Amino acid sequence: MEARAVATPVLALLAAGSREGAVRGATRAVAYLDLGGFVAALTAPGTALMPNGVAVARTAVPDGRVRATAGAIEVAGERVTWDAAEPPRWDPVPRRAAPDERAGLAARGTDVLAALGAPADPWAAGGLATTDGPRAAEGTAHLRRALRERDPAAAAAAAERLAGLGAGLTPEGDDVLTAVAAVVATTGDAVGFTGAHRDRWLEALCLHPAERAERTTSLSATLLGLARDGAIAEPVHPLLDPARARWPEALDRLTATGASTGRAYALAVGATLALLTATATE
C-alpha cells in the first residue's frame, strides 16, 4: 500500500532511525501506531491530514506489532511504503502570519466564533466546549490571562489544569492547549509576540515531554509536542490565513473531525485570535 502523503514530523522521526511499536486502535478513518511514545496516524481518504499522519488508501489494519523505517511502515503483515528519497511530503505548519496581518487575524477570529455560534469571549464564563467543572474553569481563566498578558507562568498554570482533562484518545483540555499553541506559534509575529519570550510561553503551555507523557495519552502528548512548533491538522491552516476566502469550508471540515476534537480546535482558534490581536504590540 502506497502512502499518498507523509507529514514532515513523521519523516524526521524515521530519518533518525527505525522505530518499533504497536497498533493502538484502528477504524475505517484512522489507525494509531505507537512508535515508542510518538503516535503516528494512518489516515484514510476523506480524513483530515494530521501533523503526525501518513495518508493511505485504507486504515483497517489488524492489531499487532509495527516496524517503521525511512520509506516503509510494516503493520501486522501489511506494508505502507513511499519513496524515501523523494517522499510525498506534507508540511503541517501553516504559513506564518506577517506583521501587517493583525487586523485580518482579528477579523478572522471574530468570524470563526460567530460561525460557531459562540460568544466573543467564549472562555469568560469558564469551562470548555463540552467539559465543565472547577478544573476547566480554572484552566480557562489561566489561559485567558496567559494570552492577554503573554505570561508564561499563567500558561504553565493553564497547562497544569487542562492537560489530560476530559475523555477519549485526545481529552478536550489537550485539544484546547494544542490549538492554542499552534495559533501562537504561527501568528505571534503579527501581534508582537516573538522571540525568546514566545518560546518560553510555548514551552510552559506545552509542558516538558516527560510531563506530557505523565499527564495525558500518548496521542495527545504527540500532538501537543508538535503544536509547540506550529504543526496542526490541515483544516486549521485556512483559518489562520487572512488571505484565504474559503475558510468556512475548512471550518466545516474541522468541526466534523472526531467526536469533540474539531469543535474544540475551532473554538480555541477563534478565542486565541481574538485575545492575541486585542493585546497586540507594535
Tell me the per-residue pLDDT of 176-207, one tens digit each, with 9 for 90 and over.
999 999 999 999 999 999 999 999 999 999 99
pLDDT at 281: 63
Residue 89 in this model has a pLDDT that exceeds 90:
yes
Enter the DSSP assignment of 67: E
* % of the chain surpassing 90 pLDDT: 85
How confident is the prediction for the chain on average, in pLDDT? 94
* % of the chain surpassing 70 pLDDT: 99
pLDDT at 282: 47
Q: List pLDDT tens digits, range 96-130.
A: 999 999 999 999 999 999 999 999 999 998 888 88
Give the mean pLDDT of 216-237.
Answer: 97
The residues facing 54 across adjacent strands are 6, 42
Confidence band of 280 (pLDDT split at 50, 70, 90): low
pLDDT at 232: 98
Residue 28 CB: number of other CB atoms within 10 A?
11
H/E segment holding residue 81: strand 78-81
- Please report, as a single letter, which amino acid is at residue 32: Y
Confidence band of 248 (pLDDT split at 50, 70, 90): very high
What is the SS3 assignment for 157? Answer: helix
H/E segment holding residue 220: helix 218-227
Distance between start and end Cα atoms, the chain: 51
pLDDT at 165: 94
Each domain of the chain, given as residue ranges in start order, spans 5-90, 99-278
Residue 250 in this model has a pLDDT that exceeds 80:
yes
CB 63, CB 235: distance < 8 Å: no
Q: Which grid coordinates are listed for 29? A: 478513518
Give the mean pLDDT of 24-42.
Answer: 91
Q: Which grid coordinates are listed for 93? A: 505548519
Q: Which grid coordinates are listed for 104? A: 485580518
pTM above 0.85, yes or no: yes
